[in-house]
Chain A
């Protein structure tokens, strides 16, 4: 009885928290919406001194850095997962997995510093860039950070494919390639999808590491797909400007609106994850 009561109280409290958080974000950013309507969301100029709070540059920056990270980390992560789950002997497998779990535990600011001292000079010299602080740098760094999530969860999904199915395929004399493409990956796909969605959430919310390498300039790259230019993400903007905005000013409201947008995108992603997971 007591246990049941405690369980439901905890569950209720946890779910209330998200309502409070979203409510706080909405309430705090309300003055901006009230004053400027919703047009600023697609505005291209962010300049707090002139009350210009265009969200588009940072939105595009966030979108690009996350897309790049997924494009890099998803194929690598899934490939590593296949290798670990199907081909490697047990001892090597656990070593790789341990390394991945360790990687997931490294604090993001460490990745940021690694980015500054290793990644940026490398990009500058190899691609002959004016500055290595680009969307590509952010994407590469984020890829490194979400790789463990994708790899570990995908491996679990592949290993969860029933042994009887593998045996059946073997009995039919089907080769390993076909087994992989026709049986293992389709069966594991829902799990891999969840891994990708979780990783997206993490990449989107990452602040410090991105802030250190993205260049932090509120400008849409020219042309917009040029990921070799410096840019801004929603999180790095909040990280850089939160301290300077005076509480309850319009600038403050705009920064919290950045937070609200991140929260809403994250909510959409987890709804998606939830539905896919339920469908499995």
Chain B
């Protein structure tokens, strides 16, 4: 038991990174989808403000919101809108600022894509996650069981995916085979399998992890930058940062940097669509 706590503690500490204070410290934590943007921005901002110490860590949107509420961090990252109860608790104290727009891609293994599964309708995806379709053959692919990857319930990617595909942000997915946490973990599973389907932020797609077009027949839409910007792609969301209203000037400065032209370029370079 004690070992379990200890390893959790060590795990937490290793995630949080060095927290010791330099002159001024800005702590950022939350969604692993927003993380690459903020991490890259932090790297560039350190050049401009060498006296500032910025630590950026993950944990998921739920963690970002919870830690902002508890005052543990200075900026939270969330890849979903606040839930009603969260908004109620936080709206007087915290600003929710969108920094980028992202699509949640329905990602499949390369082998699945190449066997002919290049588009899926929303009802088909829902049937997979509800456990009604269990073999790729039923969708015109190879005769192979589907490895259905669900995400931890607190993850923003899951909220968005689930509310569009399954009808509610908290819907169950009885067809799921396994549950993963971060985008990296899920990407690794999909790329190492020949039968997987999962939900991934656009920025994590690669040769072995392909997005299928979502929609019926000719109207199926790929999550490209244009389709996300125009709003035609269905499974999309704003990537937000949460900033307490009473933040220090140091924090404000970094937020302004994220929303500057340079910040927008970072957003684009990382693979998301900047918000005007």
Q: Could you tell me which A residues sit within 8 Å of B by CB distance? A: 21, 47-50, 108-109, 116, 120-121, 124, 130-131, 133, 202, 205-208, 215-217, 230, 235, 238-244, 246-247, 259, 262-263, 266
Contact = CB atoms under 8 A, between A and B. Distances in A.
B128 to A, nearest CB: 14
Contact of A243 (B4, B60, B69, B178): B60
Contact of A131 (B2, B63, B177): B177
B154 interface: yes
User: Taking each of A47, A131, A208, A235, which has the highest tally of chain B beta carbons within 10 Å of its own beta carbon?
Assistant: A131
Which 7 residue pairs are nearest across A and B when measured between Cβ atoms?
A: A244-B154, A244-B62, A215-B178, A49-B170, A216-B179, A205-B4, A263-B1
A165 B218 CA distance: 85
A106 to B, nearest CB: 13
Interface string B130-174: 000000000000000101001011100000000000000010100
Given A49-B170, A215-B177, A240-B152, A205 B63 contact: no
Contacts of A262: 1, 4
B147 A205 contact: no
Interface of B: 1-4, 7-8, 11-12, 59-60, 62-63, 66, 69-70, 145, 147, 150, 152-154, 170, 172, 176-181, 188-189, 192-193, 195
Contact of B4 (A50, A120, A238, A241): A238
Nearest to B170: A49
- Chain B interface main SS type: mixed
B39 to A, nearest CB: 19
Given A217-B177, A230-B177, A205 B1 contact: yes
B174 to A, nearest CB: 9
B211 to A, nearest CB: 21
Contacts of A246: 66, 69
B3 A205 contact: yes
Contacts of A202: 3
Given A241-B154, A262-B4, 6 more contacts: A130-B195, A131-B178, A240-B152, A241-B153, A243-B66, A244-B154
Contacts of B145: 130
Nearest to B174: A219
Contacts of A230: 177-178
Contacts of B12: 243
A207 B4 contact: yes
11 contacts: A21-B2, A50-B170, A108-B7, A116-B188, A130-B147, A133-B189, A205-B2, A207-B4, A215-B177, A241-B153, A244-B152
B59 A243 contact: yes
A62 to B, nearest CB: 11
A263 B3 CA distance: 11
B143 to A, nearest CB: 13
Nearest to B11: A208
